[in-house]
Structure formats: structure tokens, C-alpha cells
Amino acid sequence: MITPADLVLEELERDALTELVNIAVSRAAKNLREMVGRQVFLSVPRINLVGRQQAIDILDEREMDRLVAVHQVFEGDITGRALLIFPEERSLELVRAVAGPDHSLEDIIDLEQEALAETGNIILNSCLATIANLLRRSLRVSLPEVIRGTGTDFFNLAPPPLPGEVVLFLYINFTVKDNDITGYIAMLMDMPSLAVLKGLLCEFIERIGGTDK
């Protein structure tokens, strides 16, 4: 039985993953910029690999209010769920940032669901596609879905989670139209998927290290 402790990413692996993710979000930023027609900055300063409950605790501790998430399922060598999570109260700013200033509040409220879905879609797609691309593996990713609730809700989506699931927890900063919005990207994977990821990361590091050496 493989436990999360056994699967803790080596520092090098973590650095590699962080680099991968930052490449991914910069691609997402480029895509968003194309969509909204203005500068969007995205960065991922930190990555944690945590247990499911730990992820719930982190969210509960850091976020007092309700959360909104864009959810997509990915399948392939690595299987799991990807969630882009925001404090719900910041979501309108995000929507306004991407939808433009000409919308009334009522429009913004109406747009929120779709705009969040598209925005989250772009960010998550970019991340997943970039990771898959760089790891030279293919994934199939579902259409986005907006869900609201708490960390507990997000990490207990049906079908019921399997024991030993881990969460790759990414802290992500958006800067859109002078607004800094801090959110999270959570990639919920089962153990085998994490093992595959770790393997893929090692291959990636070897490739890069190989060229260095």
C-alpha cells in the first residue's frame, strides 16, 4: 500500500512541478488575454502535496466565506479532478475583469456562471494541457462546471473519493485590472495517478538534467 508519505515529492520534483505549472499558467494568461483583450497576470508561487482532509482544512482555515469552483475531470495516464477555487465574494470582480466594464450589475450576475466557467476552463485547460504536453502524456478533459460550497463539498464530490487520494494544491494569484485575486488550483488524484505523475516528473527532470549534463 502506498501512502501519501511515501509519495511526498522530492524537492527537485516539486521545483520541477512548480516550473511546469508556472509555464502552464503563463499560457493560460496568454489565452485569457486573447479572450478579454487586456493584460492578465497569473502566477503560482507555491505548490503543496497534501492529503484530501488536509486540503479541506487549509481551505477552511484560509477562507471564511463561501467558495466557488470551476470543476473539470481529467482522464488518461493520470486521472482525477481539477478545481479552480475562489472566494465567492471575489468572483464578481473576476467576472467584471474578464467581461469588461460595460456590463450592469445585473448582467454581471447573469454572466457570472458562464464567465467563471470559461475563465476557469481556460486556466485549467492550460495547466492540464501544458503538464500533459511537457510530460508527453495525453489527457482527456471534460467540459467545465461551476460549483459552489466549501472545501468539504469540493473534495467530496460524487463518486465517493477513494481512500488515499491526494491533492496537488497550487496557490494561484490573478492580477486583472488592478485587482489581485488569490485562488487555488487543486488537482485531486488517486495514488496511482500520483505515482505516475512522480514518475513522469522524474523522467522530465532526467531529460532536463540530461541536457544540462
Minimal distance, residue 51 CB to other proteins, in Å: 27
Buried residues in 153-176 as b, exposed as e (16+ CB within 10 A)? ebbebeeeeeebbbbbbbbbebeb
Q: Which is nearer to other proteins, 66 or 207 (CB)?
A: 66
Check residue 90 and report its DSSP letter.
G
Nearer to other proteins, 75 or 206 (CB): 75
Closest to other proteins by CB, 17 vs 52, is 17
User: Which residue ranges make up the site for other proteins (CB under 8 A)?
Assistant: 31, 34-35, 65-66, 68, 72, 76, 88-93, 96-99, 101-102, 104-112, 114-115, 117-118, 121-122, 125-126, 128-130, 132-133, 138-144, 148, 177, 179
Q: What is the DSSP string of 163-210?
A: TT-EEEEEEEEEEETTEEEEEEEEEEE-HHHHHHHHHHHHHHHHHHHH
Which of 52/186 has CB closer to other proteins? 186
Residues whose CB is less than 8 angstroms from the CB of residue 196 and which lie 6 or more positions away in sequence, other chains included:
77, 78
Minimum separation from the CB atom of position 99 to other proteins (A): 6
Name which of 95, 90, 118, 73 is nearest 184 in CA terms: 90
Instruction: Answer whether 119's CB lies under 8 Å from 70's CB.
Output: yes
Q: Decide whether 100 or 209 has the Cβ nearer to other proteins.
A: 100
Q: What share of the chain is helix, strand, coil (3-state, %, to 5)?
A: 50, 30, 25
Cβ atoms 78, 193 nearer than 8 A: yes
Q: Please report how close the Cβ of residue 133 comes to other proteins at its closest, in angstroms.
A: 6
Minimum distance from residue 60 beta carbon to other proteins (Å) = 18
Place of cell 467540459: 143
As measured in angstroms, the least distance from the Cβ of 149 to other proteins is: 10
Minimum distance from residue 212 beta carbon to other proteins (Å): 26
Identity of the residue, 130 or 193, whose beta carbon is nearer to other proteins in the bound complex: 130
Q: Could you give the CA distance from residue 114 to residue 101 in angstroms, rounded to a whole number?
A: 17
